[in-house]
Amino acid sequence: MGLLTRIDRRAGARLRRAVRAVPGGRGAATLLAAALSPGFRLLVALMIVRPGSRRAGLEALAAGVGAAMTARLLRDRLARRRPGARAEGGFPSRHAAAATAIARAAGRRHRRLGRALAAAAAVGLVARVASADHDPADIAAGAALGVGVARGLECLVGDGVA
């Protein structure tokens, strides 16, 4: 195991120990980690149904799906072990890729919403480390991938910012 991997694993383990030391911390982290994906899906669906945010919602959907699919392909190919009991690889994080891509795509047309989504994503993604779903590098790589996919989509759809 390389030096960077050891540092990453130790950082994740320290966060998990700190969360366990807080009464109810483990349960809160698990709940927040589990709520990330359904919460973002619901929000994207609501954006699509609402005429004033439909285009942003469709762009967020495209960015999120594209980022998650790309992360899954990479994750399955790289097969980097997760810190918890799950067998499949965790690098890069699909949740981080999708949430970051959605926040960036939505924020392109609705800045306040994008900032709120970015904050919600940050909380949920830290919770995914705290709940042993991922180590910090999994999240960082997924988030970077999400930004890249959303940026690529921006280039494809053009400006059109309201």
Instruction: Tell me the pLDDT of the chain (162 aa) as tens digits.
Output: 688 888 999 999 999 999 999 999 999 999 999 999 999 999 999 999 999 899 999 999 999 999 999 999 999 898 888 887 787 888 999 999 999 999 999 999 899 999 999 999 999 999 999 998 899 999 999 999 999 999 999 888 876 554
Q: How far is CA 101 from CA 13, 88, 93, in A?
A: 27, 22, 12
Which of 49, 95, 48 lies closest to 71, judged by CA?
Answer: 95
pLDDT number for residue 159: 67
- Does the bond joining 92 to the residue before it have cis omega, within 30 degrees of 0? yes
Cβ(138)–Cβ(92) below 8 Å: yes
The closest alpha carbon to 134, from 93, 105, 94, 104, belongs to: 93
Exposure of 58 in the CB half-sphere (CA atoms within 13 A): 7
pLDDT of residue 132: 87
- Measure the CA angle with vertex 3, ends 127 and 91; round to 5°: 40
Give which of 116, 94, 80 is closest to 37, Cα–Cα.
94
Residue 89 has φ and ψ, to the nearest 5°, of -65, 165
Name residue, tokens 């690529």: 152
